[in-house]
Amino acid sequence: MNGPKLFGYLFGLPVSETLVNTWITMAIAFVMCFVLTRNLKKHPGKAQVIGEGIVTAIDNLVGSTMGKDKMKFAPYILSLMMFLIFANTCGLYGLRSPTGDISFPLTLALITFVLIEVYTWKGRGPKGYFKEYIEPYPFMLPINIIEKFSRPVSMTFRIFGNLVGGIIIMLLAYEGLSGLTYLALIIPIPLHFYFDLFVGCIQAFIFSMLTMVFIARGMDD
Amino acid sequence: MDGLSIIKAASAIGAGLAMIGGIGPGLGQGYAAGKAAEAVGRQPEAQGDIIKTMLIGAAVAETCGIYALIVALILIFANPWV
C-alpha cells in the first residue's frame, strides 16, 4: 500500500492527493447545498423538501442529544456530518478517501477539542473548569489530564483506522481479483457497500455524536 | 541471516500478534449488540434511542481494536527500524 500521492508543490507547500480530494469533497458538498437551497419558496419544490428534511433531522438529533438550549451547534454538526459523509464515501467514485490520511481526521478532532474546552470554560466559568480536573479526588489530576488529551487522539485514530483498514482491504481484493475478468465486476460490489457506504456513514455519525456528547457534557456539568 | 531480515520477519510476526487485540472489541460489541436487541425486544418504541446509545458505546469499545490495527499498520508500512 502506498500513502497519498504527491502532485507537486504550490508556493513551497506540498499538494498531496488528500488535499485535492478534500477540495473535491468540499466542491461536492457546496454544490449539493447550493442546489437544495436555491430559490426557497413558501410552497416547497422537490429540492427544498429534501433540504428541509435533512435540516429537520439534524435539528431533532441535536435537540435530543444536547438539549434544546444548545441548538446553536446544529449548523456546525450538519456541516461536519455532511463533510465527513462525502469524504468517507470517496472510494465509491474512485478517489482515495481523504480520511485515510491522518492529517484530515486530526484537524477535525482538534476543532472538536478546542470547542469542548472553550464551551466548558464558558458554561462553567473558570472555577468550574479547573474543578473538573480534581474530580472526584485531587490525586486523580494526572488521570484527568491524560483523559482530556486522549480524547482527540482516540477520535482521530478511530476514523483513520477504520478508513485505512477499508482502503487496504479494497486494494487487496482488487489485486487478488485482477486475473478474473467477469467476477471482478461483481465481487467488489458488496465490499464497496460495506467498507465505503456503511463504515463511512457510521463513522461520520459516530464522530458527530461524540462531538455533541462531549460538548454537552462539558457545558452542563 | 543478516540483522535486517530478522527485523523484518519479527515485524511481520509482531503485526500478526498485534491484531490479536481485535478479539476484545469483537466480544464487547457483540455483547452490546445482543443487549440492545434484548432492550428493543422489551421496549420496541424506544428503538431509536437504544440504537444511538449502542452505537456510541460500540464506537468507544472499538478504540482498543483500532489501536491494535494502527500498531500493525506501523509495523508493516512505516516501520521505524527498517
| ipTM attached to this prediction | 0.80
Question: Does residue A1 fall inside a structural domain?
Answer: no
In-domain check, residue A94: yes
Whether B52 and A162 lie within 8 Å, measured CB to CB: no
Reported as type and span, the H/E element at residue A184 is helix A183-186
Rounded to 10 degrees, what is the CA torsion of A178, A25, A51, A49? Answer: -40
Q: Which chain B residues are closer than 8 Å to A206 by Cβ?
A: 55-56, 59
Residue A86 CB neighbours (<10 A)? 21
Cβ neighbour number for residue A64 with a 10 Å cutoff: 13
User: Which domain, by its residues, includes A103?
Assistant: 6-219
- Residue A1 is predicted with a pLDDT of 62
Q: Do A1 and B59 touch (CB under 8 A)?
A: no
Q: Cα A15 from chain centroid?
A: 22
Q: What is the pLDDT along chain A (221 residues), one digit of tens a residue?
A: 667 777 778 887 888 888 889 999 999 999 988 888 887 788 888 888 888 999 999 999 899 888 888 888 999 999 999 999 999 998 888 888 888 888 899 999 999 999 999 998 988 888 888 888 887 888 888 888 888 888 899 889 999 988 888 888 888 888 888 777 777 778 888 888 888 899 899 899 999 999 998 888 888 76
Number of domains, chain A: 1
Give the H or E element holding residue A9.
strand A6-10
Please check whether residue A63 touches B, CB under 8 A: no
Per-residue pLDDT at A67 = 83
Q: What's the pLDDT band for B1 if we cut at 50, 70, 90? A: confident
What is the rounded (10 degree) CA torsion for B68, A159, A210, B64? 0
The residues near A55 (Cβ < 8 Å, ≥ 6 apart) are A78
Instruction: Give the whole-angstrom CA distance, residue A203 versus residue A210.
Output: 10
Q: Between A220 and B11, name the one with better pLDDT.
A: B11
| pLDDT tens by residue, B24-50 | 999 999 999 999 999 999 999 988 889
| Contact residues of B toward A, CB < 8 A | 49, 52, 55-56, 59, 62-63, 66-67, 69-70, 73, 77
Q: Show residues of chain A in contact with B64, CB under 8 Å.
A: none
Residue A2 has a pLDDT of 67
Q: Which residues from chain B sit within 8 angstroms of residue A65, using beta carbons?
A: 52
Question: In this complex, which of B56, B66, B70 lies closest to A213 when CB atoms are compared?
Answer: B56
To the nearest whole angstrom, how far is the Cα of B66 from the nearest Cα of chain A?
6
DSSP A98: G
Q: What residues of B are in contact with residue A1 (Cβ under 8 Å)?
A: 77
| Inter-chain residue contact B69 with A165, CB threshold 8 Å | yes
Instruction: Pull the grid cell for residue A90.
Output: 470517496
